[in-house]
Structure 1
Amino acid sequence: MAAASPSRRTFLAAVSGAALALGAPSVGHAAAGDEFDTLRLRWRDLILGTGYDPAAQPFAGALAALGATAAGYHAAMAPAAGSLWPDLPLAANSAHITSSWARLNAMAQAWAQPATGHTGDAELVAAVAKGMDHLYDQVYNERTSPYGNWWDWQIGSPRLSLDTAVLAHDALTAGQTARCVRAVDHFVPDSAVASYSGTSTGANRTDLCRVLAVRGLLGRTAAKLALARDALSPVFPYVTSGDGLYADGSFVQHTYVAYTGTYGEVQLDGLARLFALLAGSSWQVTDPARGHVFDAVEHAYAPFLHDGLVMDVVSGRAVSRGLAAGDPGGVPADDHLRGHAIMAHIVMLADSAGAARRDRWYGLVKGWVARDTYRPALTDPGLGVADLARLATAARSRVPARPEPVGHRLFAAMDRAVHRRPGWTAALSMCSRRIAYYETGNGENPCGWHTGDGMLTWWAGERGGGQYSDGFWPTVDPYRLPGTTVSRKRLADGAGGEWGAARPDTDWAGGTTDGEFAVTGQHLEGLDSTLTARKSWFWLADEVVCLGAGITCRDGTGMETVVDNRDLGAHGTPVLTVDGVRQPGAQGWTATFRHARWAHLDGHGGYLFPGGTRLSALREERTGTWRRINPGGSTEPVTRRYLTLWTPHGTDPSGAAYAYVLMPGASRDATAARAADRGHLRLLANSGRRQAVEVPALGVTAANFWTAGTAARLTVTAPAGVLLRRTGATARIHLAAPDRTGTPVRLRWAHPVRRVLSAGPGVEVVRTAPALEIAVDPGTACATRTVVVRTG
């Protein structure tokens, strides 16, 4: 398994918000003498940005901060045998080489950018040149054999060294530029992209092509630019396994990890830059399959962006990065910073996508910017000048802001689902033989064991966008992630293995959707545990119905299902009400309710327990550090308050079950009224064989059949997820087979049917009377099959 890049937070901190998109005018541009010069100057502008006022905020502040950071690096630089900075010994860690290049890059940016206080500073750029020579002499040269992490040698260091050489080009000698090029040729030969395999896939392949393209323009080598362009082509087609973009909008890296928010962000950034760099040149990207990149903005990226953040369920081990060491009072590399970067990349790509797409994407970005009140994007101190400028371009355009959509998206290829309703959004993280429980590697995220055990995250109410941003990951109990069913068995750091190796031996994770409502299910097997369970989620208009059954374990420890675990912030004391009774707000308070029917947490939402349940509750303060979950993290203690609700299943249960309903953003009165409405929700089945519900007011019957069987009037001959919706005399039946065996399924609906209005691909109508019977070829990709009928 290929190791991945070091912490993006470390990289961002090292370059002090280096540009990731387009932004403002720079100094020292020479007239373009030929096409190589034209591309070099264009790349310089892509790094530094164009079109903003350096005297206006937030740009003036960002430029001043860049200047201060660069000055600090300059003052601390002390070339010596084995290091360029004393705190970054080059032989000790390959990441120190990349970090050294990052500091030189920040210094070069401060020299090249306006209004940094060091613009055009001859002494500063001379130090950059001296540092480049020193790194070449000491370690980054054609005589060195790589050690440590491959990423530093083939992506991290070459990207930064080449960008630094482009920025400082007019102050470097031809010999200095040639040495930079020779070193890159040594570590990133043409063979790095000869095969689309190993570490040369997905976002990594895009990064390698970026290195080859900049090396080509800097070294004035047409063949390198042609190679970079052509080697992008394997990135464009949809994949059906392993790394890359899938037709359903999934993005996977490291073979088994859902990674839209991190490696997907890197891929979007790299492709947007390369499209812009090569546009109109002799090496323009013309592969027709590049259209998938444009489609992905709305199909793959936008579904995971919510009010400016990108959901943690698709960010892999990056959730552990948070606040970097030595950065007290800094900006955590959280879901908002990652989301803002993706938004900036979308704006950058828009210039290559045509006017219609550009306007739609500007509307998306404008909406996200307007709604992000947790960390306003246009003043995010974690962003560089160019990102800020690109976001400002969209936010200040005349295009109307687009609202968050309403609907459901199922990403079957990476075991994820997103449900959006007016006022709230939820996301589900599952795992299977195809997708890991979690990812750990390079010491990052060692305790993320249960992330794929049905973790259900949601945003609504007063905490809104800060729910999983404000110190959640270093302080949450990792055995009580919201929505999960877990054994309390203690697990070792990194249990299950690195780089997505930790996967269950199960296939069922997925479901079916009509684009508004959905059915999802997961056959859960515990990590390093004997736990087995069947979990289902029914996604409806203002609620998510959560069922679990067949919960069995022989670990000799307690078992529980975590209804929720809300981060209340550093000082939060929202009122918890259980069955109409206000509960104590003191920290350390705990209670068990023998037959709870409903609960409500002010400013968050409500919870229903059909038929009543044994419910445990806990208020506690938890303290942790980012260093505990990431070796590059801060050691500064972080304390947050939590309200945890869970259903205990006892020690070593056999066939235990649970049922609860989540109502995000609901008021206390709305929650109490729904609990009193005994006819709203009918639990038709909750066993290890089938789980099914009916909501008459919505015309919905929904079921997960884990085996052939019957629920209400629905009968199937093989495992399947089924969603039936009736509107007047029209009924729509949606079916998928999340076990992905390809076994044909016959479905019978014991209801008179007048005629068939439509039958989608893979559906054969066998008969309509005395009941509807269809034969379904479900395929092996958990695709939804649909039939629409007029009832009699």
Structure 2
Amino acid sequence: MLMLLLSVCIVEANEKKIIKENSNKEIVANVSSVSQSEKEDFKNMRLKWAEFLTGKESLELESPKVKKDTINTLNNMGKKNLENYNYNEARMSIYSDLEDMKSGVQIQTTYERLKNLSKAYVVPGTDFYKDEKIKKEILDSLEWLHRNAYYEGAPEYGNWWQWELGIPKNINEIVAIMYDEIPVENRMKYLKASQYFQPYAKYSGYSPSAKYSSSPELRVSTGGNRMDTSIISFTRGFLMEDKEQVLDGVSAVADVGEYVTTGDGFYKDSSFVQHGNIAYNGTYASVLFNGLGSILYLTSGTQYEMKDERLNNIYDSIIDGYSFLLINGGVTDAVSGRSISRDGSNELERGRGIVTSVAMISEGAPEPYKTKIRKLVKKALDENISYKTTEKIYNLKLKEIMKDIEINEKYEKISEPKSKVFWGMDRVVHLGPKNIKFVIGMYSSRIGNYETMNGENKKGWYTGDGVTYIYGENSDKSKEFWPTVDMYHLPGVTASINERRDGSGERRHKVKMSPKSFVGGVTTGEVTLAAMDFLSWNNQTSGKKSWFLIDNTMFAMGSNINSSDGEIHTTIDSRITDGESFKYTVLSDEEVVTKKESRVGNWKNIGGKSDAPIEVEYITTYINHGKNPKNAGYLYSVGLDEISKNDIVVLSQNDKAHGIKIKDYIGINFWQDNQHKVDKYKSFSTLSLLALEKGNTLELWVSDPTQLSNVMSVLEIDGAYKLVETTDKNLKIRTEKNKTILKIDNIRSGETKYIQLKK
């Protein structure tokens, strides 16, 4: 029985839960009072999970080719995980290349290898199946690790994640796979060791040993980390036949379905933030989906089946968010944080992980969510022309689900999304009607510019500085982009070309966040106006940046670019020559430079592992604003269509407002918190506006990207109009002297409000 003297006191401070450690509460592994029906549920969940992890039963039902390929994969995996195995009885580590048994990373990698060996051992047909020598090596290694590396009281040296999440997940999986092979007393002590480091699903940093780690404070687990802590408690619970742990894990899951307004989690606009202020729909949300899919699957048909209505928010976020974020079958790098620097990880691979995870979620989701999620998955499968996603799925249960989605006609049609502002994470996505897509990544007083951690993403300096990702129909070349691109010339960025130190200039910690809040945009759902009041990492370069996205074209406008940081460039595009052709038109009178070059790089240089050289051809186009520019600007377009100066009307391009008219649309960013008029529209505060007037009808879309207003926004329009409809239930309207005055409720929100007026 595990006993740990601790007490938790939870207090409210600054809208966060701060948890303080005291000294008089017992944590007890409760294995009593379990009914026969509960034992049956535990057994069924355990067997179901072991089968999910190994596929040993369902493999017998597969075709000879699939069976052969799976066996070959397991054989290769088994052989690989015996490399460097240390057979010496006086060994100081299990593997000769993983000698530091105080390192959480090396301990976790050791468990990971043993898990892979365990899979090869239990699946019939492999070279390792029921091999007594392999079994002995696995069991002896587990016992050695428990005595020497991962035990109650061991200090958490290094990153907390391995000790509290990575290793406990591996131990649970090994125990599930080798359940009947590991003596019961050994199973329990291994699981209790993991319980020491991660006892409760709702908290991280709970054990006394956490004081040695990178995150020593006791805290509420959030976002993707919460899903990890939940699945650890849940799976450990049914492995130990401990219903309290099972309930602890299940009850903690639904909390992640609650929308947040700051910090980690899902926002109402489907943004997902982790580490307080970094856009992470591409990785941490993927971890969350993977865990949720597993728990929904395992609890199905048991008394622990999840039916909490808060999960509907996650289903909505998948449907409403990933219909934009999944591009060409991959997930845009704009929402993947520091993981862009990991070799072996790229948009398509991360997208595959998300697609398979949400497909698994659809198994347990109620209608209409199930069908909507599966239509989204089908769309992602169809759009990936780089490779057939289902051929890269090795879990047989997942493969079964994906095959059904792939061939089932009812999942064929999905309404095509167009444009979206993710105001919760300063991201904008526009999907053109033809094969072109745009994504803009920005930062503000709410969202950090980039994240570097654990040596990763060392050169991600400008990945939040208005980067514009421009996609055709094939994302295959994205695999080579980050290790080879000129990090001083990322598309859309206005920056100094002065050399930067690795890992410098993060604006994501409280005292270093940008003071600029006017970042976001307004959208009709088909047309979007984005905005960024820009201040560089070192406060030496500033400017106003706007993007107007319509049909197959992005118009980019900049003004008031001032710097004391040397030569400043605005990069229009820097792309690998992949055969896809876009049209670039500079609509202002700046010096434009285009260069073709062969670039060589490697993953290690940006924070990955491999130092193998990668060489690719690039075309880079940028505007040179000169040295220490004053009030510089630009106007250019990127797209599929020919653009001339006659296609647009510039209404304003200064520090008061950016205004542009394209086709029948007018877009205006009112930068200042005082009255200013552009065309027929006068705003009395910060505001983003899109207007479309046809005949007697005037349609307006408005937002306040600052998300700071405590009062309603006031917009005055020339002409007398009457209200037809609006999404703003608090809207106030009056007319006087042939002017219409609107009071719009944009209080503390970056959400777009729609108003239709008529003369």
TM-score after normalising by structure 1: 0.85
Q: Tell me, yes or no, if structure 1 residue 453 matches structure 2 residue 459.
A: no
Equivalent residue in structure 2 for 1:738, among 663, 687, 705:
705
The Cα offsets for residues 113-145 of structure 1, whole Å up to 9 and x where unpaired, read as: 355443444433332222211211221111412
**Bigger shift: residues 162-171 or 56-65:** 56-65
Structure 1, gaps ≥5 residues long? 1-30, 323-331, 575-602
Equivalent residue in structure 2 for 1:429, among 426, 436, 441:
441
Give the distance between the partners of 1:35 and 1:745, measured in 2 at CA.
Answer: 56
Give the distance between the partners of 1:421 and 1:391, measured in 2 at CA.
Answer: 27
Per-residue deviation, 1:298: 0.4
In the alignment, what sits opposite 1:702?
A: 667
In the alignment, what sits opposite 1:687?
A: 654
Q: Tell me, yes or no, if structure 1 residue 724 matches structure 2 residue 724.
A: no
In the alignment, what sits opposite 2:369?
A: 357
Give the distance between the partners of 2:588 and 2:505, measured in 1 at CA.
Answer: 37
The 1:529/1:376 distance shift into structure 2, 3 A limit, reads: farther
Per-residue deviation, 1:69: 1.5
Q: Secondary structure at the match of 1:232?
A: helix
Q: Could you tell me which amino acid in structure 2 is paired with residue 65 of structure 1?
A: T
Per-residue deviation, 1:159: 0.1
The Cα offsets for residues 131-166 of structure 1, whole Å up to 9 and x where unpaired, read as: 211211221111412111111011000101110110
The Cα offsets for residues 753-775 of structure 1, whole Å up to 9 and x where unpaired, read as: 36544462342112276132211
The Cα offsets for residues 608-628 of structure 1, whole Å up to 9 and x where unpaired, read as: 222443211111111111111
The 1:101/1:732 distance shift into structure 2, 3 A limit, reads: same
In the alignment, what sits opposite 2:28?
A: none
Equivalent residue in structure 2 for 1:170, among 176, 180, 198:
180
Q: Tell me, yes or no, if structure 1 residue 336 matches structure 2 residue 348.
A: yes
Q: Tell me, yes or no, if structure 1 residue 221 matches structure 2 residue 221.
A: no
Q: Secondary structure at the match of 1:44?
A: helix
Give the distance between the partners of 2:638 and 2:695, measured in 1 at CA.
Answer: 28
The 1:642/1:768 distance shift into structure 2, 3 A limit, reads: farther
**Bigger shift: residues 183-192 or 540-549:** 183-192
Equivalent residue in structure 2 for 1:148, among 142, 153, 158:
158
Per-residue deviation, 1:403: 5.5
The 1:538/1:121 distance shift into structure 2, 3 A limit, reads: same
Per-residue deviation, 1:384: 5.0
Count matched residues: 703
Paired residues for 1:559-578 under 5 Å: 559-568=568-577
The 1:399/1:766 distance shift into structure 2, 3 A limit, reads: same
Per-residue deviation, 1:552: 0.5
In the alignment, what sits opposite 1:405?
A: 416
Q: Could you tell me which amino acid in structure 1 is paired with residue 136 of structure 2?
A: A
Equivalent residue in structure 1 for 2:491, among 479, 482, 486:
482
In the alignment, what sits opposite 1:539?
A: 549
Structure 2, gaps ≥5 residues long? 1-36, 207-216
Contact 1:54 1:115 in 2 (8 A): no
**Bigger shift: residues 309-318 or 492-501:** 492-501
Give the distance between the partners of 1:662 and 1:767, measured in 2 at CA.
Answer: 40
In the alignment, what sits opposite 2:196?
A: 186
Q: Secondary structure at the match of 2:464?
A: coil
Contact 2:689 2:702 in 1 (8 A): yes
The 1:163/1:758 distance shift into structure 2, 3 A limit, reads: closer
In the alignment, what sits opposite 2:716?
A: 748
Equivalent residue in structure 2 for 1:636, among 598, 601, 612:
612
The Cα offsets for residues 198-220 of structure 1, whole Å up to 9 and x where unpaired, read as: 46111111101111111111111
Per-residue deviation, 1:784: 1.6
Paired residues for 1:534-613 under 5 Å: 534-555=544-565, 557-568=566-577, 603-613=580-590
The 1:762/1:561 distance shift into structure 2, 3 A limit, reads: farther
Q: Secondary structure at the match of 1:538?
A: strand
Contact 1:435 1:500 in 2 (8 A): no
Per-residue deviation, 1:221: 0.8
Give the distance between the partners of 1:136 and 1:197, measured in 2 at CA.
Answer: 25
The 1:159/1:758 distance shift into structure 2, 3 A limit, reads: closer
Contact 1:421 1:542 in 2 (8 A): yes
Q: Secondary structure at the match of 1:440?
A: coil
The Cα offsets for residues 12-65 of structure 1, whole Å up to 9 and x where unpaired, read as: xxxxxxxxxxxxxxxxxxx99722211211221332347565445556424412
The 1:500/1:127 distance shift into structure 2, 3 A limit, reads: farther
Equivalent residue in structure 2 for 1:347, among 359, 380, 404:
359
Give the distance between the partners of 1:373 and 1:354, measured in 2 at CA.
Answer: 30
In the alignment, what sits opposite 2:748?
A: 780
Equivalent residue in structure 1 for 2:309, among 270, 283, 288:
288
**Bigger shift: residues 42-51 or 290-299:** 42-51
Over aligned residue pairs, what C-alpha RMSD do you find?
2.4
Q: Secondary structure at the match of 2:749?
A: coil
The 1:759/1:624 distance shift into structure 2, 3 A limit, reads: closer
Contact 1:210 1:274 in 2 (8 A): yes
**Bigger shift: residues 258-267 or 732-741:** 732-741
Give the distance between the partners of 2:366 and 2:753, measured in 1 at CA.
Answer: 33
Per-residue deviation, 1:75: 5.0
Q: Secondary structure at the match of 1:550?
A: strand
Q: Secondary structure at the match of 1:130?
A: helix
Per-residue deviation, 1:239: 0.6
**Bigger shift: residues 167-176 or 358-367:** 358-367
In the alignment, what sits opposite 2:253?
A: 232
Per-residue deviation, 1:378: 2.0
In the alignment, what sits opposite 1:66?
A: 74
**Bigger shift: residues 346-355 or 282-291:** 282-291
Give the distance between the partners of 2:534 and 2:413, measured in 1 at CA.
Answer: 38
Q: Secondary structure at the match of 1:43?
A: helix
Contact 2:347 2:475 in 1 (8 A): no
Q: Could you tell me which amino acid in structure 1 is paired with residue 612 of structure 2?
A: E
In the alignment, what sits opposite 1:591?
A: none
Q: Could you tell me which amino acid in structure 2 is paired with residue 83 of structure 1?
A: S
Q: Secondary structure at the match of 1:468?
A: helix
The Cα offsets for residues 364-410 of structure 1, whole Å up to 9 and x where unpaired, read as: 222221221113212237x6555444433321333343457231111
Equivalent residue in structure 2 for 1:617, among 584, 594, 612:
594
Q: Secondary structure at the match of 2:305?
A: coil
Contact 1:350 1:361 in 2 (8 A): yes
Q: Could you tell me which amino acid in structure 2 is paired with residue 316 of structure 1?
A: G
Give the distance between the partners of 2:559 and 2:263, measured in 1 at CA.
Answer: 31
Equivalent residue in structure 1 for 2:109, among 81, 90, 99:
99
Contact 1:262 1:338 in 2 (8 A): yes
